[in-house]
Chains A and B, each alone.
Chain A
Amino acid sequence: MLSMNVEFGFLEGLVRGYKSEILKTTDYANLLQCDSLEDVKLHLSSTGYGDFLANEQPPLRTTTIREHMTQKLVDELHFMRVQAVEPLKQFFEYIRYSYMIDNIVLIISGTLHERSVQDLLQQCHPLGMFDSVAMAGLTIAKSISEVYRFVLVDTPLAPYFQDCLSEEDLDELNVEIIRSTLYRAYLEDFNRFCEKIGGSTWDIMQPILEFEADRRAINITINSFGQVLLLFAHCARELTRTNSTELSKDDRARLYPRLGKLYPEGHAALARADSQQQVRTIVDVHMQVSAQWHVCALFC
């Protein structure tokens, strides 16, 4: 308390300022009145966004607007990352890892389908970009194991690969399984990090990470039932529609993160489940009432 502002005082003031700029109900009501993209630009210029579209040529496109808004978010986050000290710096890195995982999976699946590297890099989420040295290695890599050996080993995500996958696995496995494996390692690592920090960080992050882990477990289970479903994605850029991932029950159990309200009894039950109805029963039993409300949204 007495040293409250030494490390994080400036950032706290900054974050509160950012929070007060988030669009409110009145802003959305104004935006709903708009007739064209020019009106949207006009209304946004009176909010915290300001003149962020000032340099754009007249025929505005939605993709342009979205890119600029994402860029504003990335710039603000970058500013905070640069000002941060440990352990806040590491916390920001953990936030970026999830975007990095999405980008890596995008790159891997793009390499598999012989897409050009420039296209892939355009599509990557800016929050999850690696530095240019790593990116340069992408142009020469031809297969996934080469991508791993040249590019991914130098990134902070390398430990997540080492925990679970070998090079041969990378070439054979379905891309979604790679994503799930990486994400599991990432969630567990993040959980350990927040637990080590303790205090109010742990109090706030623990329910969030638990919910994320439970959501993943339920989604993996449902997707392995052989139904065509939208696999949820973090960034709206990438919507992947996958067929069943054809996971055996043991494989499925290996993909669940080892945390959350469903761990460990719920995971054991989910690994044996065969239908959506069974999953629903298991969830009802193991998760508390308030969490069920979130879960029901998943089933709809």
Chain B
Amino acid sequence: YQRRVRGAGVGMGLCMSLSVLGASWGIWTVGTSILGAGVKAPRIRAKHIVSVVFCEAVAIYGIIMAILMRQRWERIDDLHPNRSDYLAGYVLFAGGLGAGLCNIFSGVCVGVAGSSAALGDAQNPKLFVRLIVVEIFGSALGLFGIIVGIVAITGVEFGTKVTHHNMMMT
């Protein structure tokens, strides 16, 4: 039992932690630039919180995915181990790792773009809307990651009931 669930647990942990890593990386990159540029151009202080929100969304993707993964092994049947449990373990690991890595890069991307947006907006207010579009595209990368992850995860389950079909395969 433990061997089957271990990969799933690591996957869930990786998903959450890598997403948070990406989000925090992005927030630090944006934050210093907003503070620096906001000294001489105070009007940008309120507007550029949206960049921080985009970075934070990446972390939220991670936590959604992690909770969905946790629900996959609530109904494990200890007495009847199954071959398909190994598949479930691997899939959960892979889904978590993939979504986590996607979220790192998405968070970093939104952070760097947001930092340039803050610096550019301080000089020329017309740049703001264009640069937010760039950030939206960056944020979409994380979304792709968790979509793929969720699709993969919802296909597997621990503790599948032993049916005639399964028995033929084992």
Contacts and interface: CB of A to CB of B under 8 A. Distances in A.
Interface of A: 1-2, 4-6, 9-14, 16-18, 20-21, 48
B40 to A, nearest CB: 3
B25 A13 contact: no
Interface stretch (B12-20, B27-35, B127-135): B27-35
Given A4-B112, A4-B115, A13-B37, 13 more contacts: A2-B25, A9-B35, A12-B119, A13-B32, A13-B35, A14-B36, A14-B37, A16-B119, A17-B36, A17-B122, A20-B40, A20-B123, A21-B40
Given A13-B122, A16-B122, A16-B123, A2 B37 contact: no
Contacts of B41: 17, 20
Given A2-B108, A4-B115, A12-B119, A17 B29 contact: no
B33 A17 contact: no
B153 interface: no
In the complex, which range does the number of interface residues on chain B fall in?
Answer: 20 to 34
Nearest to A16: B119
A17 B38 CA distance: 8
A130 B41 CA distance: 33
Given A14-B36, A17-B41, A5 B29 contact: yes
B28 A5 contact: yes
The 9 tightest CB contacts between A and B, nearest first, are: A13-B36, A17-B40, A9-B32, A13-B37, A10-B36, A5-B32, A5-B29, A14-B36, A10-B32
Given A14-B36, A17-B39, A17-B41, A9 B115 contact: yes
Given A13-B119, A16-B119, A20-B122, A4 B29 contact: yes
